[in-house]
Structure 1
Amino acid sequence: MPESALFSPLSIREVTTRNRIWVAPMCQYSADDEDGMPGDWHLIHLGSFATGGAGLIFTEATAVSPEGRISPQDLGIWNDEQRDAFARITAFIRSQGSVSGIQLAHAGRKGSTFKPWSPERGTVPAEQGGWEPVGPSAIAFGDYAVPHELSAGEIDGVVDDFVSAARRSIEAGFEVLEIHAAHGYLLHQFLSPLSNLRTDEHGGSLENRARLLIDVVRAVRAEIGEAVPLFVRFSATDWVDDGWNEQQTATVAGWARDAGADVFDISSGGNVVGARIPVGPLYQVPLASYVREHAPAPVSAVGLITTPQEAEDVVSSGRADAVMLARELLRDPHFPLRAARELGVDLTYWPPQYVRAKL
């Protein structure tokens, strides 16, 4: 039987994933009552990846406050009722041998927008359930509403919201937490000089622009203790001149590692309208490899990784420690089981109900 790097376990602090095929956060915009509550859709959506053999399964971006949502239909974990609703999902994932992770997020200036399949576009008005978005500076994202510039006290409140959400996440049974600092959402907005024009301690220098993220990492680590793995998702580049880039990402990742983060989930883009992104197979893997080498720290790679051999090659070559899959798992939630067959790996954790399909 061939050795497979992709199907080797990975231990981070006191958590071990059974393989290196991880489920990337994928927004579902399906809290239909606009209360942030996960429901049956989320149980089946996330649960199918567990029966399909994934090692680590992340929820979609889950808001740390009501105004932190992207759309009114986003999930949240700002109250105990949401926490309790997540518990049955984490319990099912655990029962299938997978590890559950939650991505904690604040949309910032990209908040209060219509879900992607709505016939309407842009910012949701207050009379339709919207709210005033916030950001580091009063700079709109494209034709979205101009955000309210956060005061120093309000920034402290954001840190507190992440801490409270982290506590509820552990209580809900999540075994891994991820802080969302990518895709043009609030923490990325602070990091990028294109969206952060502040002149106080949260703007200007790289150290100042990274201050909020590092404060969040440090505070969340203090809240969750030493056993729980903590990830940070970065957009490694804005894909435009004079914007956020992989060199800054690697530097800040090193600071975040020192503050208590363990793994960096490397994506890109999302903060600049009209940025030209060279999308293609494995197009973000070099960014992950750069951060892994220069931070240095463990990373996961994401972005148009669609075949078992591609995933195996990314991990076995040392370009990343794991792969995050998204669209390929939407097409085939049982991709890990199929990948094992194609790579000649004899998995011991096929669900017994599915064993007839193993041969």
Structure 2
Amino acid sequence: MATAGNISFIPLTFILSGIPELGNNQNWFAFPLGALYVIALVGNVTILFLINREDSLHQPMYFLLSMLAFTDIGVSLTTLPTMLSIFWFNYTQIYLQSCLTQMYFLHTFAAMESGVLVAMAVDRLIAICDPLRYAAILTNSVIAKMGLLILLRGLCVVFPVPFLTRRFPFCKTHMLVHSYCLHQDVIRLACADTTVNSIYGLVAVLLTKGIDSLFIIISYGMIFRAVLRIKANEARLKAFSTCISHICAVLVFYVPLIGLSVVHRFGKHASALLPVFMADIYLLVPPVINPVIYSIKTKQIRAKVIKLFRRREIGARDNVIATI
């Protein structure tokens, strides 16, 4: 490692913080953390399995839901190695290249999830405002193109970030605030002008989550206007109820994201635990909550989940009887 004074030009490792207030007593958090990851992975894999297996779920809404489950799995698997290494094994170091790789995939999957939420808003908009042409507009080909566009946008927009970050020298401490590598957190340690990174980071956020949130707001403005035009209260309530799951998913994703952005930019004098808490909510809660929301609020998914577990329960009971 080449050094000049307090500056190290090629840092070999960063130190991940976990939850600083817990000090060395972080092992107790490993069990609820592990449970959250298990719930997230099992829930989203179950959603993917059901949609792939059941022909009745081969519809635009459920194809988009499978994309959401895929991005949630990606986020979980990206953060899982460092989170569990800290809380299970007290191993806090991460190599620079590993940090940059994690940073890239983490921000890419987050951008993809934002794009999927926009596509789901468009799906609900067409389903409510133009139901007779719904199947003709959202064909399998259109859904596939939307998925490809979401994937390419996430990959391309985030692609320069690790290369812009790799060029920095880092000074004094290599201690990161979070349990994984975020772009804002890493450039905070750079002892060089980070204006380019800050500007590009802001542009990337505006090109993804900024534009996406605007489209979602516009879509729901049009949806609410269409719903209010329905004269029958029961029909109005039924139309709006089809959006509840998506609204919950949007809030679960965007509220912690906005809170985290505000804390990073304006919360310099806030408690050190606040950005850690907000970042963990932002990355851990959506993969856990989304499968639960859609399993509870979507009748078709709920019925298929119940059917799947009943089938397994009957199969296990038959195996027990056969061995007696």
Q: Say yes or no: TM over 0.5.
A: no
Give the structure-2-normalised TM-score: 0.27
More helix by share: 2
The higher-RCO structure (CA 8 Å, 6+ apart) is 2
More strand by share: 1
